[in-house]
Amino acid sequence: MYIWQSGLWPQFKFDENAINEKLVNIEQAKQKLLDSSATLTQPIDKEAQMDALLQNAIRTSEIEGEKLDVGSVRSSVAKQLGLNTVGLKPGVDLHPNRSSD
């Protein structure tokens, strides 16, 4: 069932205290992650970003009942972050049809 199919849509009821507690925990975890990622070197930082974005995309698609090809998503995210060679074996030519002059 999609959220808009609920009989309560869009007047939902929720326990604000329970949500606020979870939001505080999320914010603390986020800050801890940001603090630890500040010490990462640039390439590792971009790879960490890529992994986080990849997991987010895959999980979101699963929630919607779609199954994405992990390799395609990884490739797309890597290109967006300028990490076109992530996951490739050393020596792989990204442009095999291009002249090496």
Report the pLDDT value the prediction gives residue 52, as an integer from 0 to 100.
86
Q: One-letter amino acid identity for 70?
A: V
The pLDDT assigned to 24 comes to 93
Dig out the tokens for 8 from the structure: 């309560």
Is the alpha carbon torsion for 86, 87, 92, 97 positive or negative? negative
Confirm whether pTM is higher than 0.75.
no
Residue 95 has pLDDT above 70, yes or no: no
Please, what is the average pLDDT of the chain?
77
What span, in angstroms and rounded, lies between the C-alpha atoms of 96 and 92?
9
Please give the full DSSP string across 41-58, using - where no structure is assigned.
-HHHHHHHHHHHHHHHHH
Query: Is it the case that residue 65 has pLDDT exceeding 80?
Result: yes
Q: What is the Cα Rg of the chain in Å?
A: 20
**Residue 37 in tokens:** 């990622």
Give the per-residue pLDDT at 30.
92
